Amino acid sequence: MQENTNNIPAPEGSVTAKYPELGSGLIPVEPYISPEYFEREKKHIFKKTWLHVGRADQIPKAGDYFVADLEVCDTQIIVVRNRQGEIRAMHNVCSHRLNEIVYDKRGNTRKLFCKFHGWAYDLDGNLTGVPEENSFFNLDKSKFGLTRVACEVWQGFIFVNMEPNPAQSLEEFMKPVYGSIEGYPWDKLKEGFRWTSVVNCNWKLALDAFQEAYHVAYVHGNSIADAIDRSTSVEGMPPLDVICGDVHRRLSLAGNQKSVYGNPKAVTEGGAAAQQALSDAANARPIAAAALRAGVGSAKEQFPLDALPEGVNWTKSPNWLFDMNVIFPDFYVSLRPNYFQAYTFRPVSHDKTMVDARVFYAEMTTAGGRFFLEYMKVALRDVLLEDFSTLERTQRAAQTGVKKHMIVQDRELMVRHAYHAVERMLARGEAQEAASNQ
């Protein structure tokens, strides 16, 4: 029975048919529940791939730093801005007797001091001071700096790579799928909010919950399902288009503009867009309507739709809602006309994921604008609590072993591609390893 289902090709006109190499079959459950599979992912994906750890805006001044927990790479990384304004990354391990150098998760410092014996390093990780230096045996300080990690920045997003000499630069990694969104107004979106949670599920299961809109009508039935356009006979939220790269993937969505949450451009455009968003909200959702009235005109910057780079809303839909962007392996960025969300689904173990969810809005100049942001942020947070409601339940259900496969429809193409991208990278990594062992 399952074999037969595997063999039905996706029909012409479906987004799945654009990528015949992905097939149209069932997706195995094993990668979501197997500790052995997770060890392969650690070795061949997470320890070799560019991983997002934060925004450059989080460390604006020289000496600003934060610590990224990367259990999936068996380490902790200090990310710091040096005196020249460059961002550096190094393992949080002292060269002397290996204590963790930084205890706080973030801060500002002139130098990095080890609290065990007082060894001091500059912001590039060079060893600059050793108490009782003469009691060591001709210690050559230039050889014993902190261990640096490859670190590059793309569009303000800081990435690190555990490979001493990464096979691709960050730019080479990003360009093929994301070159066309460079120039998105990141720099106008600096009012950020952040939540974290350790969720007892596999990292792919968490990511999957965000890389399709099939769930909106059900999981979000009480909240933002009014973003679904009910004015036509089309059921649900079909993607405008899906782009599957070698490992990255993108999906663009349209929706009903007559809602405050679903029509964020209303607050920065005002006028007709605001009237449209308010038309249904004024009676049904008076707090939402009050927040939008309070916010119109408060944004410090303009966000004209025609100034967005061509890769954002690439089908040029007049009812565009947002683009989902998954940056391999575990980073999700949702781009809207005047705000964006950035979520990492970073594995801790095969059944545990550290989620770091951030949202960035336009700077508001008034209390009314701040009220609007709080409305949008709280609504988003509660929508995320809906998204998260399935994760641990799905993981437990997967671990029963009752089902060996999942069924994926056309509009869940990104879930299908995600499985293939991981498989592809595991196969490449293991082929390379086999070749180098010969």
- Can you give the binding site for another protein, defined by CB under 8 A? 55, 57-60, 106, 190-199, 222-223, 284-288, 290-291, 293-294, 358, 360, 363-368, 370-371, 373-375, 377-379, 381-382, 384-389, 391
Q: How far is the CB of 337 from another protein (least distance, A)?
A: 20
Give the number of other Cβ atoms within 10 Å of residue 131's Cβ.
10
Q: Tell me which H or E stretch contains 251.
A: strand 249-254
Q: How far is the CB of 306 from another protein (least distance, A)?
A: 27
CA distance 242 to 254: 13
∠323-71-141 over CA atoms, to 5°? Answer: 115
The 10 Å CB-count burial string (b at 16+, else e) for 206-226 is: bbbbbbbbbbbeebbeebbbb
Q: How far is the CB of 157 from another protein (least distance, A)?
A: 14
Judged by beta carbon, residue 161 or residue 298, the one nearer another protein is: 298
Judged by beta carbon, residue 201 or residue 253, the one nearer another protein is: 201
Judged by beta carbon, residue 265 or residue 285, the one nearer another protein is: 285
Q: Say which residues have a Cβ less than 8 Å from residue 271's Cβ, sequence separation at least 6.
A: none
Residue closest to 180 by CA, chosen among 75, 316, 81: 316
List Cα–Cα distances, 334 to 268, 321, 372, 382, 410, in angstroms: 18, 10, 20, 17, 20
Q: How far is the CB of 57 from another protein (least distance, A)?
A: 6
Judged by beta carbon, residue 103 or residue 136, the one nearer another protein is: 103
Q: How far is the CB of 300 from another protein (least distance, A)?
A: 11
Residue closest to 200 by CA, chosen among 435, 399, 24: 399
Judged by beta carbon, residue 15 or residue 380, the one nearer another protein is: 380
Q: How far is the CB of 426 from another protein (least distance, A)?
A: 30
Judged by beta carbon, residue 177 or residue 260, the one nearer another protein is: 260
CA distance 116 to 140: 20
